[in-house]
Amino acid sequence: MDVVLEGLRRLEYRGYDSAGIAVVAGESIQSRKKSGKLANLVNELAARPLPDALTGIGHTRWATHGGPTDVNAHPHLADGGKLAVIHNGIIENFAELKAALLAKGHTFTSETDTEVAAVLMGDFYRARAAKGADENTLTNAMSDACQQLEGAFTLLAIHAENPNTVVAARRNSPLVVGLGDGENFLGSDVSGFIDYTRRAVELGQDQIVTITPDNVEIIDFAGNPAAGKEYLVDWDAAAAEKDGFPSFMEKEIHDQPDAVAATLLGRSDINGRLTLDELRIDPERLKSVNKIMVLACGTSAYAGQVAKYAIERWCRIPTEVELSHEFRYRDPIVDANTLVVSISQSGETMDTLMAVRYAREQGAITLAVCNTNGSTIPRESDAVLYTHAGPEIAVASTKAFLAQITATYLLGLYLAQLRGNMFHGEIKDVLADLGKIPAKIAKILANAEQIKELARSMADAKSVLFLGRHVGFPVAMEGALKLKELAYIHAEGFAAGELKHGPIALIEEGQPVVVVVPSPRGRDSLHAKVVSNIQEIRARGANTIVIAEEGDEAVRAYAEHVFYIPESPVLLAPLLTTVPLQIFACELATSKGYDVDQPRNLAKSVTVE
């Protein structure tokens, strides 16, 4: 058990709203689980120790389905308490599976999708055991279950009748094997077992691994023999917690393809219709909405500003974006037909919480877009649309920002679908374009060295200006905020069109100016105007750093540096143009030797007004 507990300590950063352990003890499974920090489980184990055991599984949770409670914590038991299962990811079809299992007479104690997987696996196990159980029954039951599951999942299971055995499966979710001497391990990443072995096996998609103390066997979901990729871990334990990246900030920038993909997962059907059943707001009330107010602070407010362009275009509902701390002091006009959307990574920002409370008092419908399941703002809102970016450890927000844009876009499309503002085909096209974004982000990340090199060369910059237009304007603001937060350099983002109304006075020889250029395939007037803005500042000596779409040759003549990103529809561009700005700020700060995970003066969640 100590090995599992130490592994959880190493993995606590991956999720920490509840934790649990289960072991095979004699003829039974015994488990302990507690909501809250891992320390709560440690205290529980001190008060109610588990028996010594050689086979066990453990889990720290980042809640997606069901709040962070003792009951919802993993492991989940099934098959009369003889089976224990833990899970990372999102099982999209858990509702229909649960209905079928309930119809078979099964019962559930939690709200989680994980328990559905456990009961399903237990059902298959028992059916197989009825024909004669053997050492492969658990593996076969896992295979049976995985063939029914849709979504993203890493599953681990132990069974009282299969002692010394742990079976695991993965689809679109991390799982790695640790090869020991007379012992073997499993983890979401190597930091779970790096203290015991550096020999690891990376599993492929849709694979199942069965480990015993002396054997590791890999098959695919259909039961055919398969192989993983063995490698030697050369990271130290601290680095392993960051997947080998030098900082959580850099890890989380690289998590962004998964953050966007996970936020999209399970929220539309194969016909391209939005399925936001989780919202639980009466569709008739949403149809009556005649104004949307987005409340947020900092980076989350910039996500709201990006969302405004899309929501107004798709839904034709007037959408205002308000800084939470300003909102309630200006006597805003809010009533029962106002939809107030709060955006918050932490769900604990006091400014936003107080604004949401005020909006509720005025009778508004309140919907939280939040990355932290069970936090205060979603709890005090009528509905919540969770971003599934995973825990964001670095103080400066990156992956949550892209996930917030993704979630608010889904909300906009859902409203347009509900109110008939968009044809079904239009919605389907936008969803298809959103589905391509993770790969495009990954392409930008793969070509990051150019922007990193530029950032290092600008370590002595005293100020950097950021220009953008349309959806590029809030991206410019966010790029400036990242640079302020991480590199402590004065930076200002503003609308490119505003340049000649004053800020151009700031331009002098060598002044670095980052320009986020709209797609030339969008409204060409926007593109042409931004190119002329670049000419204006270049003529006055600016050092122009341009973020432009692949193939946009018009900007090259006026840019000291051009960083090309994959093309995308105009409204989706912020999900791509933001990434080079994050990399730029992170690398520049790193080259100055600053702590990019915990910048000076900042807190991850501002829980005071």
Are the beta carbons of 193 and 109 closer than 8 angstroms? no
| Ranges within 387-426 binding ligand AGP (CB under 6 A) | 395-397
Which listed residue (30, 299, 366, 376) binds ligand AGP by CB under 6 A?
299
Nearer Cβ to ligand AGP (148/605): 605
Nearer Cβ to ligand AGP (222/603): 603
- The alpha carbon torsion through 573, 576, 578, 584 (nearest 10 deg) reads -140
Query: What is the CA 543 to chain-centroid distance, rounded?
Result: 34
Residue 333 CA neighbour count, 13 Å, CB half:
5
Tokens of 465: 């200006």
CA distance 493 to 474: 8
Which listed residue (297, 315, 507, 548) binds ligand AGP by CB under 6 A?
297
Contacting range for ligand AGP; rule: CB under 6 A; set: 60-68, 265-273, 341-349, 422-430: 341-349
Any contact of residue 345 with ligand AGP (CB under 6 A)?
Answer: yes
Are the beta carbons of 579 and 445 closer than 8 angstroms? yes
Any contact of residue 598 with ligand AGP (CB under 6 A)?
Answer: no
Contacting range for ligand AGP; rule: CB under 6 A; set: 125-133, 345-353, 438-446, 488-496: 345-353
Query: What is the CA 484 to chain-centroid distance, rounded?
Result: 23
Nearer Cβ to ligand AGP (188/352): 352
Q: How far is the CB of 9 from ligand AGP (least distance, A)?
A: 25
Q: How far is the CB of 394 from ligand AGP (least distance, A)?
A: 8
- CA-closest candidate to residue 414, choices 512, 539, 280: 280
- CA-closest candidate to residue 207, choices 234, 241, 242, 170: 170
Any contact of residue 384 with ligand AGP (CB under 6 A)?
Answer: no
Which listed residue (15, 298, 378, 580) binds ligand AGP by CB under 6 A?
298
Which listed residue (18, 137, 191, 300) binds ligand AGP by CB under 6 A?
300
Tokens of 322: 């308000």
Nearer Cβ to ligand AGP (139/324): 324
Which listed residue (344, 366, 408, 511) binds ligand AGP by CB under 6 A?
344
Contacting range for ligand AGP; rule: CB under 6 A; set: 79-87, 205-213, 338-346, 568-576: 338-346
Contacting range for ligand AGP; rule: CB under 6 A; set: 122-130, 149-157, 339-347, 449-457: 339-347
Q: How far is the CB of 605 from ligand AGP (least distance, A)?
A: 5
Q: How far is the CB of 344 from ligand AGP (least distance, A)?
A: 3
Nearer Cβ to ligand AGP (427/588): 588
Give the CA radius of gyration of the chain.
Answer: 25
Which listed residue (17, 243, 382, 485) binds ligand AGP by CB under 6 A?
485
Nearer Cβ to ligand AGP (298/378): 298
Nearer Cβ to ligand AGP (249/499): 249
User: What is each CA distance from 228 to 188, 204, 298, 524, in whole angstroms?
Assistant: 15, 6, 43, 49
Residue 30 CB contacts under 8 Å (≥ 6 apart), including other chains: 22, 23, 50, 51, 53
Nearer Cβ to ligand AGP (249/422): 249
CA distance 268 to 271: 8
Tokens of 573: 């561009």
Which listed residue (72, 110, 139, 349) binds ligand AGP by CB under 6 A?
349
User: What is each CA distance from 533 to 227, 478, 526, 546, 570, in whole angstroms?
Assistant: 55, 20, 11, 12, 19
List, in sequence order, every beta strand (DSSP E) within 507-542.
Answer: 512-516
Are the beta carbons of 408 and 422 closer than 8 angstroms? no
Nearer Cβ to ligand AGP (146/486): 486
Count residues binding ligand AGP (CB under 6 A): 16
Residue 319 CA neighbour count, 13 Å, CB half:
23
Q: How far is the CB of 158 from ligand AGP (least distance, A)?
A: 37
Nearer Cβ to ligand AGP (298/580): 298
CA distance 238 to 347: 28
Nearer Cβ to ligand AGP (184/372): 372
Q: How far is the CB of 58 from ligand AGP (least distance, A)?
A: 28
Query: What is the CA 337 to chain-centroid distance, rounded?
Result: 31
Any contact of residue 375 with ligand AGP (CB under 6 A)?
Answer: no
| Ranges within 197-256 binding ligand AGP (CB under 6 A) | none
User: What is the pattern of x (binds ligand AGP, CB under 6 A) and - over residues 542-581?
Assistant: ----------------------------------------
Can you tell me whether residue 384 is helix, strand or coil? Answer: strand
Nearer Cβ to ligand AGP (296/570): 296
Nearer Cβ to ligand AGP (56/298): 298
Contacting range for ligand AGP; rule: CB under 6 A; set: 197-205, 242-250, 297-305, 535-543: 297-305
Residue 362 CA neighbour count, 13 Å, CB half:
20
Which listed residue (140, 268, 346, 373) binds ligand AGP by CB under 6 A?
346
Nearer Cβ to ligand AGP (482/527): 482
Any contact of residue 352 with ligand AGP (CB under 6 A)?
Answer: yes
**Which residue's C-beta sits nearest to ligand AGP?**
298
| Angle (CA) 391 448 595, round 5° | 50
Are the beta carbons of 87 and 94 closer than 8 angstroms? no
Nearer Cβ to ligand AGP (172/598): 598
Can you tell me whether residue 89 is helix, strand or coil? Answer: strand
Query: What is the CA 265 to chain-centroid distance, rounded?
Result: 11
- CA-closest candidate to residue 122, choices 81, 180, 69: 81
- DSSP at 310: H
CA distance 474 to 192: 39
User: What is each CA distance from 543 to 50, 467, 547, 560, in whole angstroms?
Assistant: 64, 13, 13, 6
Can you tell me whether residue 290 is helix, strand or coil? Answer: coil
Q: How far is the CB of 485 from ligand AGP (least distance, A)?
A: 5
CA distance 405 to 307: 6
Q: How far is the CB of 297 from ligand AGP (least distance, A)?
A: 4
CA distance 276 to 266: 9
Contacting range for ligand AGP; rule: CB under 6 A; set: 57-65, 253-261, 294-302, 426-434: 294-302
Nearer Cβ to ligand AGP (203/596): 596
Q: Rule CB under 6 A: which residues touch ligand AGP?
A: 297-300, 344-346, 349, 352, 395-397, 485, 602, 605-606
